[in-house]
Amino acid sequence: MNRIPLIIDCDPGTDDALCIMLLGASSKYAIKGITAVHGNVSLQHTAENALFLSHYYGIDCPVYRGAQQAMIVRNERAAYVHGGNGLADYEYSTEGLSCAEGYAWDFLYRSAREYAGELEILACGPLTNLAITILKHPDFASLVHRLVIMGGAAHSGNTSPLAEFNFQQDPHAVQVVLQAGFSDVTIVDLDCCNSAWLNPEEQKTMAALPAHNRIHGLLAQIMAHKVISDANITRVHGERFGRDRAARMVVCDAVAAAVAVDPALAQYRDVYMLCETEGTQTAGQSVIDRLGLSGKTNVRLAMNMDRDRYAALFMNSLKHYEEA
- What would the x/- binding string for ligand RIB be over residues 70 to 99, using CB under 6 A? ------------------------------
Using the rule CB under 6 A, is 189 a contact of ligand RIB?
A: no
- What would the x/- binding string for ligand RIB be over residues 216 to 255, using CB under 6 A? ------------------------------------xx--
Q: 54 contacts which partner out of ligand RIB, Ca ion, none, CB within 5 to 8 A by kind? A: none
Of 5, 9, 16, 191, the one binding Ca ion (CB under 5 A) is 16
3-state helix, strand, coil in the chain (%, to 5): 40, 15, 45
Q: Tell me, by CB under 6 A, how many residues bind ligand RIB.
A: 15
Using the rule CB under 5 A, is 9 a contact of Ca ion?
A: no
Residues of span 118-137 touching ligand RIB by CB under 6 A: 124-125
Using the rule CB under 5 A, is 48 a contact of Ca ion?
A: no
Using the rule CB under 6 A, is 39 a contact of ligand RIB?
A: yes
Q: 86 contacts which partner out of ligand RIB, Ca ion, none, CB within 5 to 8 A by kind? A: none
Beta carbon of residue 303, minimum distance to Ca ion (angstroms, whole number): 20
| Identity of the residue, 9 or 120, whose beta carbon is nearer to ligand RIB in the bound complex | 9
Report the DSSP beta bridge partners of residue 249.
Answer: 198
Query: From the CB of residue 128, how many other CB atoms can be counted at a distance below 10 Å?
Result: 30
Cβ 181 vs Cβ 147: under 8 Å = no
**Length of the chain in residues, anyone?**
324
> 150, 160, 36, 185: which is closest to 98 by C-alpha?
36
Using the rule CB under 6 A, is 48 a contact of ligand RIB?
A: no
Half-sphere exposure of 272 (CA within 13 A, CB side): 10
Angle between helices 43-56 and 14-24 (to 10 degrees): 30
Strands (E), the chain: 4-10, 29-36, 63-65, 120-123, 146-150, 185-188, 267-271, 273-275, 286-288, 299-303
| Identity of the residue, 85 or 143, whose beta carbon is nearer to ligand RIB in the bound complex | 85
Cβ 125 vs Cβ 166: under 8 Å = yes
Beta carbon of residue 139, minimum distance to ligand RIB (angstroms, whole number): 27
Cβ 107 vs Cβ 33: under 8 Å = yes
Residues making contact with ligand RIB (CB under 6 A): 11, 13, 15-16, 39-40, 124-125, 150, 158, 164-166, 252-253
